[in-house]
Amino acid sequence: MFIYTLPLFFTEISWASPVELLMVVIALLLVLFLSAPACADNLQQLSLNNYLFSAWVGNVRLSWVLWPFFILLNISLYSADTLAKMGLLTVSSWDDVHLMLLLPIIWWTTAIWRSSANTTQSIFAAGGRLLTLAVFFEYGLKLLIRIDYPRLFFVCEELLLDYGSCF
């Protein structure tokens, strides 16, 4: 996450500096920490039976919801971005990958927010919620780059069939 988008955001787009973005992230983490739900006392009773539904309802530990999908999501985003930067993935296919990942991200965000009480410390709940917001910020940056700055990200010279997407 943010491997290709933040350098473009800071160097080419220049809407904010790294210090300003860091201050926003720290303030957001503080707000999320102060509004975090109380931690659960009975973490041993949580089970992984019917995992997807249990996570959706919030009956799974936060770490079991956060890390597996976060790792798979970052591998998928990194692969799609790397292939697009190398010119092996067209702009439309890059859009399709991100659109296919959008509904699982919505499921994941809902599961994180509902499962945030199932952790030992409130900072973990705030961190998990901050990561979900960071994913949506990443998607916003990618949408901005896709619409306004496609020539900075994509290899438009090699995309003969999809050349119109680079304008």
pLDDT digits (tens, 9 = 90+) for 43-94: 555 566 788 888 898 888 899 999 999 999 999 999 999 998 888 888 888 9
This prediction's pTM:
0.86
Name the band, by pLDDT with cuts 50, 70 and 90, for residue 114: very high
Residues 11-33 have pLDDT tens digits of: 888 888 899 999 999 999 999 99
Q: What share of the chain is helix, strand, coil (3-state, %, to 5)?
A: 70, 0, 30
Cα(123)–Cα(131) distance, integer angstroms: 12
Is 44 part of any domain? Answer: no
Is 151 part of any domain? Answer: yes
Is 48 part of any domain? Answer: no
Is 60 part of any domain? Answer: yes
Cα(58)–Cα(112) distance, integer angstroms: 8
Whether pLDDT at 133 is above 80: yes
Full domain range(s) for residue 147: 5-33+53-166
Is 135 part of any domain? Answer: yes
What mean pLDDT is predicted for residues 142-150? 88
Is 107 part of any domain? Answer: yes
Write down the pLDDT at residue 164.
60
Is 39 part of any domain? Answer: no
Write down the pLDDT at residue 45.
59
Whether pLDDT at 163 is above 60: no
Residues 94-110 have pLDDT tens digits of: 999 999 999 999 999 99
Write down the pLDDT at residue 89.
85
Is 116 part of any domain? Answer: yes
Domain count, the chain: 1
